Chains A and B, each alone.
Chain A
Amino acid sequence: MIRHITLALLLIALGYGFWLSANFKEIAAGVALFLFGMLSLEQGFKSFTGGTLERILRGSTNRLWKSIGFGVISTTLMQSSTLVSLITISFVSAEMISLAGGIGIIMGANLGTTTGAWLIAGLGLRVDIASYAMPALVFGVVLLLQRGKVTKGLGYLALGVGFLFLGIAYMKSGFDAFQTAFDLSAYAIPGIGGVLVYTAIGMAITIIMQSSHATLLVIITALSAGQITYENALALAIGANLGSAVTSALGGMSANLGGKRLAIAHVVFNLLTATVAIVLIQQMSWAVDHLSAQIGIAEDDVLLKLALFHTLFNLLGVLLLAPFTRPLERFLVRAVRFEPKPMEQPRYLYPGALETPATAINALRKEVGHLYDNAYELIAMGLSLRPALIDSDQSLSEAVKMTRRIIPLDVDDVYERKIKSLHSEIIDFISEIQGRGLEEPAARQLYTLQQASRDIVEAVKGMKHLHKNLSRHGVSPNPVVREPYDAIRLTIARLLREIQQIRSQDPETVTSLSLDSLKLSSETSSQKFISELNRLVRARRLPARIATSMMNDESYTFEIGQNLIEAAQALLEPSSPRDQAIESKLALDEDDLQRLVDSTPEPN
């Protein structure tokens, strides 16, 4: 809600600004084009992250200097510390690189991002950069219209560069024109107060634009137009660094434990760097002047001096923190811990239920039903279908076909919290009942429900195996790969819906015999799936290697189905032993089912 209101206010403020000043419109358009350019660059680099980048990343983080070097080089090349940070967070989260390695990359990325300031200050504002933007845009669009993934990626990169240049040009001309109308330098604040205020402004701008690069562009162009003083520009650059840490922290909060630790390390690093830079701003300013003279930067070239200051204070941060990377890692591992989510508690198992066999069996039946409901939710989500959709009348085949993304799901976590914990409570309760001695038929009912609980757990374990490949191939752009997985998802989804419908009916009108038809359809779906796979392999449309993986997944699907049917059968069992005996006599055995499968016409 607050997000929506903030967005609406921002849009209104921008609209009002555009109406008020044509120059503001030009500057804002420059920022927008620059940000769009960065997005295109990110998109382009993502096309190449299918293996090479990951391989290099893994090989470059076994030593701290390598990690820092990787951070510097990759950010310099990509001109996006956001992309480097995101990839690093995902690698640390997956424990493919250590937290210390991740911290090294983040430090390097902070240093690498300062090359942006050099590019903008040294090149962007000195040549007619817009004239370079046009060919880049044309080449970008031509490449983007091609089919190949790599060519498309190159197209995005060219477009990214084009839009970056165009954005810089618009910003420059906007600020130049702005200068004639307003003089923002009149609002310059001297002294430490000015440093703090402008640091806060720089941070706010970066948080809003989600890019320290864009903030630096604004700072440098405003400085070149004389709209801000050199001293205030230095403070804004410090603020930009802090803002990027806040952006990263916000992103890291939604990541797992490793991601959170890395995000905190990023904040610690940038906060420390900013504090040192603010405290030593006079000394650093002197160092910049001194170094500028050494490397041939003119006395009045404040743009390059700002770029030098940006690099120097980030370098100082790296030098200060690099020796403490391991202690910082140890501290984060100790301080930031996994907070276990609450385990699912049983709803019906309480000591009072053990008073009589009938109440105990009834409570147990309900609890196994509760376990089934949890498994139902987990399996539905594992199929990337919302339980509400399966409960509805919507077409399942349409829903499966229209799935565009896999719902993120930590199957192991949900299994531990909602299935295993409850199953353990059920087993505990059953052993309590058994300790009190039970007569037939209650003992048999107890056994059936225990078996049902195990069947449910087995079904979920099947889903755990299946989920890996479903996540990988479930929305594959290749129809030969996707369609078999669509068939698997549809088979399980139909089964879940059928069982839910049967379970929701009045027990007086429903019989567990209805589940026999599910056994039949499970059997026919399995045979149809295998014969379709064989056909694809014969036609050389599907490599045998992939087909065998699919066959394994089909086997999990079949097991999930069988286990769920068995569990539902136990839950629907009539209470009277005579009725139970009759239903088991009328239920179709394997031979009966095979006869029906054989008589089912072959699919076209």
Chain B
Amino acid sequence: MTRKKLLNKLARFFDADRASQRKEIDSILKVTKKLKDKERDLRHKLETTAPGDERAELQGKLDVIEAQRHKALTLIQELRAGRNKD
């Protein structure tokens, strides 16, 4: 292992904030994946549901997921921006 690589590894090991941010982003991505799966199921249901109360209910759920995914995206961007500043 070259000296440079070794130093980088050491830097990552001691940079606790950076590691914590990484884990936080992973955690967000995990939740986002669940939301994405749910969104796919709902869209599939929406296609086969006739207009009416049930369809409006499905649309409401999709709107909620969209808002949550938007929040997740903003959070990831903030975390990444914070990491880049360092």
Q: Decide yes or no whether A585 CB sits under 8 A from chain B.
A: yes
> Among the listed A517, A583, A586, which residue makes an inter-chain contact with B61, where contact means beta carbons less than 8 Å apart?
A517
Complex contact A520–B60 (CB within 8 A): yes
Could you tell me the dominant secondary structure of chain B's interface residues? helix
A595 vs B70: C-alpha distance when bound (angstroms) = 14
Roughly how many angstroms separate A595 CA and B37 CA in the complex, as a whole number? 24
The reply on B9 being an interface residue by CB < 8 A is no
Complex Cα spacing A601 to B52, Å: 12
Cβ contact within 8 Å between A578 and B23: yes
Return the CB mask of B23-36 against A: 1 if under 8 Å, else 0.
11001101100110
B78 to chain A, nearest CB (A): 10
Please state if A517 and B60 are interface contacts (CB–CB under 8 Å): yes
Provided the pairs A520-B60, A524-B60, A599-B63 are in contact, do residues A585 and B71 lie with their beta carbons within 8 angstroms? yes
The dominant DSSP class at the A interface is helix
Please give, as numbers and ranges, the residues of chain A lying within 8 Å of B28 by CB-CB distance.
582, 586
- With A and B bound together, what is the CA distance between A109 and B57 in angstroms? 58
Stretch of A452-460, A508-516, A539-547 contacting B (4+ beta carbons < 8 Å): A508-516
Given contact pairs A513-B35, A521-B57, A578 touches B63 in the complex (Cβ within 8 A)? no
Distance to closest chain B CB from A593 (angstroms) = 8
Contact A586 B75 (CB under 8 A): yes
Is there contact, CB below 8 Å, between A513 and B60? no
A-B pairs with beta carbons under 8 A, tally: 62
Whether B68 pairs with A513 at a CB distance below 8 angstroms is yes
**A413 lies within 8 A of chain B by Cβ:** no
A599: chain B residues within 8 A (beta carbon):
63
| Assembled-state Cα–Cα distance A595/B60 (Å) | 12
Complex CA gap A587/B56 in Å reads 21
A514: B residues at CB distance < 8 A:
38
Chain A residues near B67 (CB-CB < 8 A): 588, 592, 595-596
For chain A, the count of residues having a C-beta within 8 Å of the partner chain is 26
Which B residues lie within 8 Å of A301 (CB)? none
Given contacts A582-B27, A585-B75, A586-B71, contact A509 B61 (CB under 8 A): no
Q: A511-B35, A585-B75, A600-B60 are in contact. Are A516 and B68 (CB under 8 A)?
A: yes
Number of B positions contacting A (CB below 8 A): 23
Q: Given the complex, which residues of A lie within 8 Å of B30, measured CB to CB?
A: 579
A515 CB to nearest B CB, Å: 10
A516 to B60, CA, bound (A): 10
* Bound Cα distance A579, B32 (Å): 12
Q: Is B72 an interface residue (CB 8 A)?
A: yes
Chain B residues 62 to 81 lying within 8 A of chain A, measured CB to CB, are 63-65, 67-68, 71-72, 75
- Rounded to whole angstroms, the CA-CA distance of A397 and B24 in the bound complex is 42
> Are A579's CB and B60's CB within 8 A?
no
A509 to B61, CA, bound (A): 17
Which of chain A's residues have a CB closer than 8 A to the CB of B68?
513, 516, 586-588
What is the 8 Å Cβ interface bit string for chain A, positions 574-604, against chain B (1 contact, 0 not)?
0010110011011110001001100111000
Whether the Cβ atoms of B24 and A578 lie closer than 8 Å is yes
CB distance from B44 to the nearest CB of A (A): 16
**Cβ B27 vs Cβ A511 within 8 A:** no
**Least distance between A585 CB and chain B CB atoms (Å):** 6
Closest A residue to B32 by beta carbon equals: A586
Interface residues of A in 244-289 (CB under 8 A from B): none
Q: Are B27 and A579 in contact (CB under 8 A)?
A: yes
B60 adjacent to A521 (CB under 8 Å):
yes
CA distance A517 to B39 in the complex (A): 12
List 13 A–B pairs whose Cβ atoms lie within 8 Å, in order of A's numbering.
A511-B31, A511-B34, A513-B31, A516-B64, A517-B61, A520-B60, A521-B57, A524-B60, A578-B24, A579-B30, A582-B28, A586-B68, A588-B68
List of 10 A-B pairs having minimum Cβ-Cβ separation, nearest first? A517-B61, A517-B64, A582-B27, A511-B34, A516-B64, A586-B71, A586-B68, A578-B27, A520-B60, A596-B63
